[in-house]
Structure 1
Amino acid sequence: MRVSNTVDIDESELEERFVRASGPGGQNVNKVSTAVELRFDFASNTSIPEFARERLKRLAGRRLTGEGIIVIQADRFRSQEQNRADARARLVELVEKALLRPKPRIKTKPSRGAREERMKAKTVRGKVKKMRSRKVDFD
């Protein structure tokens, strides 16, 4: 299964189990196993680069088991084929997200004008508060 130009997931690293889905479907839901449990053996995969492996671990969260297997459950649709395609698409989306390197943050400073404007606003606010606190003595 192709994820990007550099990353491929081998079919041998994927395992699909079909289970009965919950939710709507009438009598069909009790007879046919339409939900898909896709298991991706992340630990044995070698095509995912190291920087993306760490991000994928974080992104997978509780879907990652202790043995290094990512489990994706799909039961959104009533048909087995649609759920199978949905599970695979979600796996590809997860790996693609991990492959994107986050843009490094560039530290910036407020401009001189912004600093002056802030100080002016603070002064005005202080004057308003000072005017409110004065007690006038009429004696």
Structure 2
Amino acid sequence: MSVPNTNDAKVQAVISYFKRVDAGDASYLDLFDDNVKFFFPKFGTTQGKNSLVAFGERIGASLGGIWHDIPNFNFIVSGSTIVVEGQEGGRMKDGTVWPDNQVSQGRFCSVFEFSGNLITRMYIYVDPDFPSHDAERILILHRPASEA
């Protein structure tokens, strides 16, 4: 894990966010400013804690569980901004486990901005096709290593 300063309250808040999400603990909302700006692919750009709740409900309707590989996160800290690069995985409601580590890798990058100790912006960059059901794009983009 590349953590610049584990005593940094902002880094600890980000780690706490991921731990709470993995545990299904709604108290993750306590880490956010009331007017937080939020982005997730296909969900769009929104503002406010209510947006986080709506997103959680929508994505939660398709997920049976999620995990983040917190010990292997790569953190980049610049002032009040923390960027996290890592891997996640889980199980869809239909039982499909992801990533498959062939097509899907579960890689993501999230950008957090803070005011004081509260998160004021969280933009998540990830392929939302967790179980690799987007067959058209997979046929276009994915090539096994032997064909690359």
Please give the TM-score of this superposition, normalised by the length of structure 1.
Answer: 0.31
The structure with more strand, counted as a fraction of residues:
2
Larger radius of gyration: 1
Please give the TM-score of this superposition, normalised by the length of structure 2.
Answer: 0.30
